[in-house]
Homo-oligomer: A and B are copies of this chain.
């Protein structure tokens, strides 16, 4: 992409990471993938992203090995995009980014919380469970809405996310 030309020079792992996930929209797509969004249409309506940009980003994330595109239905042919293991390893980054915003940005009311699936307690700094002491990986995290989240959103993906949902498991969008 475009970041490449300059960033590649940097010879730094952070710069290399940003080459892959640093473009506009990219990390939001990855976030949605953690939330269980898998289909083109669902990314589209949930993010409000232009179609051309979504297609480009899905393709580059697939090439980078973050997402895997796989056919889940033959006729009509339908593909879904699922996080690979490498993609799922982005969870600490995404979690700390969200935690940072919750704690350090003005006027943030935190709309959702991340809970340890095993015990239900809210994850603390560095994604640790304060009760168990475990560092919790994405598959053991439950995303739960909090009061203040719009109870009647306009798109089916947001509606599906009104109920607690385990990360990485597919979201049942069509009720």
A interface residues (Cβ-Cβ under 8 A, vs B): 3, 6-7, 9-18, 20-24, 27-28, 31, 48-49, 64-65, 86, 89-90, 92-94, 96-106, 108, 110-112, 125-128, 135, 149-150
On whether the beta carbons of B93 and A100 are closer than 8 Å, the reply is: yes
Q: How many angstroms between the C-alpha atoms of A49 and B9 in the bound complex? A: 12
Task: Indicate if the CB atoms of A15 and B3 lie closer than 8 Å.
Answer: no
27 residue pairs from A and B, CB less than 8 Å apart? A9-B48, A10-B28, A11-B111, A11-B150, A13-B108, A14-B97, A14-B98, A15-B28, A17-B97, A17-B105, A18-B27, A18-B97, A21-B97, A22-B24, A23-B24, A64-B105, A65-B104, A65-B105, A89-B103, A89-B104, A92-B100, A92-B125, A92-B126, A93-B97, A93-B100, A96-B96, A126-B128
Point out the residues of chain B lying under 8 angstroms from A49, CB to CB.
6
Cα of A67 to Cα of B150 in the assembled complex, Å:
33
Question: A93 contacts B96, CB within 8 Å?
Answer: yes
8 Å CB contact of A13 from B13, B101, B106: B101
CB distance from A41 to the nearest CB of B (A): 18
| Other contacts beyond A13-B110, A22-B24, A93-B100: 11, CB < 8 A | A11-B149, A12-B31, A13-B99, A13-B111, A14-B28, A16-B108, A17-B98, A64-B105, A89-B104, A92-B100, A93-B96
